[in-house]
Amino acid sequence: MCGIVGYIGGGSAKRIIIDGLKRLEYRGYDSSGIALAANGRIAVEKTVGRIAALEDRMAGMDLDGHAGIGHTRWATHGAPSDANAHPHTSADGEIAIVHNGIIENYLELREWLSGEHGVPFRSETDSEVVAHLIRLYYEGDLLDAVFRAVGRMRGAYAIGAMAASEPDRIVAVRKDAPLIAGLGEDCNFLASDIPALLKYARTIYLLENNETVLVTRNEVSIFNERREKVKRDVYHVTWDADAAEKGGHDHFMIKEIYEQPKGISDTMGRRLGADGGIRLDGISLARRELERIERVYIVACGTAYHAGLVGKYAIERLAGMPVEVDVASEFRYREPFVNDRTLFICISQSGETLDTLEALREAKRRGARALSVVNVVGSSVARESDDVFYTWAGPEIAVASTKAYTTQLVCMYLLALYMGRELGRLGDGEYARLVDELGRAPGRIESILAQEKRVQEIAKKIYRSEQVFFIGRGPDASVALEGSLKLKEISYINSFAIAAGELKHGTIALIEQDTLVIALATQSRLAGKLLSNIEEVKARGARVISLAMEGDANVERQSDETIFIPRCADEVAPLLAVVPLQLLAYHIAKLRGCDIDKPKNLAKSVTVE
């Protein structure tokens, strides 16, 4: 969601912080700002809109320093405005803060600060209370004031703070929201995500929950809740900095669509031995442990949830285990049947999605074994899980997830295959066949990407549509959900997906002349039934674009347009089928002139409930 960047050193704080904020634009935001320690005061500049607007406002100003904090805000409390943008300051300008997350008891604190202490408020945000609270406790020691202020706050947050009287120090605290500290040469950094620092620092500290960090030009000190210094191993970032750049593409999204064959190959290559056996990165799930498991829960949000739905099919089909898939935001507010005989699988690209993290904690409280499928090494979900199955998609910058989804599917397939073999549910022949099918997926996706011009032609015919229905059966119904989500995320078309068999139970009332229907027909055992659903909507005047296996003449005859994927096993078809839907969403959004990498109201990492 929101982004934080902090710097202290011998260089231009303004230049470095602005550059870092630009590298966090993918997280989603509606305003930005910067606070700089200079000439015995803290100078603040902020504005609604893109970072370019902040740069324009600061152009020509004699405003810089060697320490500062910056922020990109995505509105939660208070509409996007200059007043609500960060940084926020205390009334006298002594304290400046940036804040990600939510202060749950901010109304109580606001009334107390204004009522008992006469503090004037200038914004509608929950964040402003943090600046005033730190100022209330500030007696010349910023670290002490932050500790005392945090003791009064409830919520999930990452906070960075500066004091005009201590221009050589930045203090930050992490509670249920991502925060890292970067180590440079004669300088140090803060950030909410690694890409902000890639250009400047590759050695970082991953802050744990409820830790506070003091950053100076020459030192980074980490403290626990008892104010004791903590020793922490550094983490070395191994990404190629170019991985976080567009590399000649118009948008990160299309670049990442084209990176899927490599991401899938990397994710599989680390797990498949020369003998075809699957290695689970040190995860111990021997037959005896698997036989203890009574049920599997898969919990996630958004695109990761859709990957979980496909994972359910894979585990039930290949391992013969009962699987329930739940939306993370709902999981912990009911009474799930989770105990010490439950395998709890949470899926998250960022590993920082708060709903997923809280669901994980709830499952562990109930005794479940927690296994996470995560893309970001060292993320909160990864650190708090019993076992981690990393995807190797590389950094995903576009808000609309693509390569994270397909690598998550690969992890679910590998896990299902491993479990099925250990439990004796899969014979050697079927196991080898499906491993071979997975191995062929990158090449087959390359052939789908080679059809991009065909997808563009179809996009030109339908991009003015304002309503789209996606239908499918079996795993195709789950892929339809993801295709629909991609379209609505970046094109803003009113799109939704249903299991095709549910058409006649209400939705078919909405089908009329020229209604656009995208039908997924990749499951051979359900092809006849899906064909009947296509005929149903065609009979009511619908315009049908179908996605089918190569050579499926029956579907082609019944459709206005057909996109083919290479023939493959039904079980792994979702891995291929989603790619043309990603391309279609991208080209429709491009034709509609949408801001594809930064769609309105959306954020890459959702760190609030």
As a whole number of angstroms, the distance between CA 270 and CA 519 comes to 35
The superfamily in CATH containing domain 245-449 is Glucose-6-phosphate isomerase like protein; domain 1 (3.40.50.10490)
Per-residue pLDDT tens digits for 352-365: 888 999 999 999 99
CA distance 597 to 96: 30
Instruction: Give residue 487's pLDDT.
Output: 97
- The confidence score (pLDDT) of residue 605 equals 55
pLDDT over 80 at 412, yes or no? yes
Q: Is 290 exposed, middle or buried (0-12, 13-18, 19+ CB in 10 A)?
A: middle
Q: Catalytic residue among 22, 403, 488, 604, which?
A: 604
- Asked if the model's pLDDT at residue 12 lies above 80, the reply is yes
User: What confidence tier does 259 reach under pLDDT thresholds 50, 70, 90?
Assistant: very high
Same fold, 245-449 and 452-591: yes
The question of whether 568 is a catalytic residue gets the answer no
Amino acid at 163: A
Mean pLDDT, the chain, integer: 91
For residue 4, pLDDT over 60 is answered with: yes
Q: Which of 292, 294, 275, 273 is nearest to 284 (CA)?
A: 292
59 or 245, which is more confident: 59
Catalytic-role residue among 2, 187, 346, 411: 2
SS3 call for 164: coil
Q: What is the distance between the alpha carbons of residues 503 and 533, in angstroms, rounded to a whole number?
A: 8
pLDDT for 379 equals 84
Average pLDDT over residues 536-561: 94
Report the topology of domain 3-238: Glutamine Phosphoribosylpyrophosphate, subunit 1, domain 1 (3.60.20)
Q: Which of 575, 208, 588, 262 is nearest to 395 (CA)?
A: 262
pLDDT at 609: 52
What is the model's pLDDT at position 145?
97
Higher pLDDT, 455 or 30: 455
Q: What is the pLDDT of residue 279?
A: 84
What's the token pair of residue 192? 């909410």
Per-residue pLDDT, 73: 86
Helix orientation angle between 106-117 and 128-137, rounded to the nearest 10 degrees = 50
- Is a pLDDT exceeding 70 seen at residue 402? yes
pLDDT grade for 56, boundaries at 50, 70 and 90: confident
Mean pLDDT confidence for 590-594:
96
Task: Tell me what pLDDT residue 597 has.
Answer: 86
Share of the chain above pLDDT 70, in %: 97
Mean pLDDT of 485-506: 94
Q: For the whole model, what pTM was predicted?
A: 0.79
Q: Where are the alpha helices (DSSP H) in 450-526?
A: 452-462, 475-491
pLDDT at 606 over 90: no
pLDDT attached to residue 243: 62
Give me the pLDDT at residue 601, please. Answer: 73
Yes or no: say if 316 and 329 are a contact pair by the CB < 8 Å rule.
no
Superfamily of domain 452-591: Glucose-6-phosphate isomerase like protein; domain 1 (3.40.50.10490)
Dihedrals φ, ψ of 327, to 5°?
Answer: -75, 130
Q: Both tokens of residue 542? A: 């619908």
Does 239 score more than 70 pLDDT? no
Residue 604 pLDDT class (50, 70, 90 cuts): low
Please check the confidence at residue 549 and state whether its pLDDT lies above 80: yes
**Higher per-residue confidence, 178 vs 98:** 98
Give the whole-angstrom CA distance, residue 9 versus residue 243. Answer: 27
**Rounded distance between C-alpha atoms, residue 199 and residue 241, angstroms:** 7
Mean pLDDT across the stretch 297-314? Answer: 96
**Domain-wise residue ranges, the chain:** 3-238, 245-449, 452-591
162 pLDDT exceeds 70? yes
Does residue 87 have a cis bond before it (omega within 30 degrees)?
yes
pLDDT band at 176 (very low <50, low <70, confident <90, very high): confident
Tokens representing 588 are 């429709």
Q: What CA–CA distance (Å, rounded) separates 316 from 296?
A: 10
The confidence score (pLDDT) of residue 172 equals 97
Regarding predicted confidence, which is higher, 377 or 546? 546
Vertex 465: Cα angle to 461 and 469 (nearest 5): 105
**Residue 225 phi, psi dihedral angles, 5° rounding:** -65, -25
Q: pLDDT, tens digit, for every residue of 121-160? A: 999 999 999 999 999 999 999 999 999 999 999 988 999 9
**Is the confidence at residue 410, as pLDDT, over 80?**
yes
604 is an active site residue: yes
Distance between CA 50 and CA 38 in Å, rounded? 25
